[in-house]
Structure 1
C-alpha cells in the first residue's frame, strides 16, 4: 500500500468531513472546513496532514506548535484530530501521520508533544503507546 502524507488542501474538505463522521459521529460543515484550511495554511505553526492512498484521503492529523514560557522556552506540539478510516486502521497509516507530525515538531524545535484522547478510545491509547507515547491521567478538558 503506497500511502503518501501531505499538507491538507481545500479540496480535501469533503473527504475530511467523511473521516470526521467516524471520529465524532456527525458531519462537519464543508465550507467551514475549507475556510479553516485556507486560514491554517497561512499560519506556519499549524500543520494539517492528510494520508492518501492514491488520491483518496484515508487519514488525517493536525499539529499546532505552541510557544512556551517555562525553562528554555522551547515550544511544544499539540496534536489534535487524529483519524484513520476504519477500513485502513492497523495498516501503518496512523504511524505515518504521527511521524509526519513528529518531523514537524523537530523542525520547529519543540521539546515535547502532547495529545488528548477520550478515555473510552482504548484502541487509540494502545496505538499511541505502541509508538512511544506515555499515557497519563493528568489531562483535563472543559467544554465551553
Structure 2
C-alpha cells in the first residue's frame, strides 16, 4: 500500500470508506456534495491537518485525518490527533491499518509531537482491540455534544 495526501477527486472514495459499516452509514451521505468539498478545502489549506489515503493498485482502500494540536499542558506539548481512520472491509487483516497508523505516528514524531491520541466510537470493539495491539491505551473517557439540529 502506498500512502499519499488525499486529493479532491478522492472525496467519493473517502465517503465510501466512512460508510463501510453500520455506524458510518448513519453519519455520512452517499455522494459528495458542497459540504464535503468545503470541508476538504479547509483541511487541505491548513498546515496542521493531513488527510491521507492508502492505495493499492490505484484504488483508495484506507484513510485517516491527522491533526496537529498545540497546547499549554505538558509543558507546551504538541499533540497529534488521529480521526476518521478507516480501512476498507474487503482488505482488513492485511496489515494496512498498521502501516497507516505507523505512518501517522512517524509524522507526529517528525512534527515534534509528544503524544498521539485518537477517539473511537464505543461500538467499534474490533477497532479498540486493534488500537490497543498497536500500543494505544484507553486512558481517558471522552464526551461529545452534538450541535446538529434534527
Query: Greater helix percent: which structure?
Result: 2
User: Structure 2: how far apart are the matches of 1:101 and 1:131?
Assistant: 12
TM-score, normalising length from structure 2?
0.87
Shift in Å at residue 137 of structure 1? 4.8
Q: 1:9: which partner in 2?
A: 7
SS in 1 for 2:130: helix
SS in 2 for 1:87: helix
Shift in Å at residue 27 of structure 1? 2.3
Q: Name the count of aligned residue pairs.
A: 142
Unaligned 5+ residue runs, structure 1? none
**CA contact 1:7–1:49 (8 Å) conserved in 2:** yes
RMSD over aligned CA atoms reads 1.5
SS in 2 for 1:103: helix
Q: 2:29: which partner in 1?
A: 27
SS in 2 for 1:113: strand
Unaligned 5+ residue runs, structure 2? none
Q: 1:58: which partner in 2?
A: 61
TM-score, normalising length from structure 1?
0.90
**CA contact 1:20–1:27 (8 Å) conserved in 2:** no
* The one of 120, 125, 135 aligned to 1:122: 125
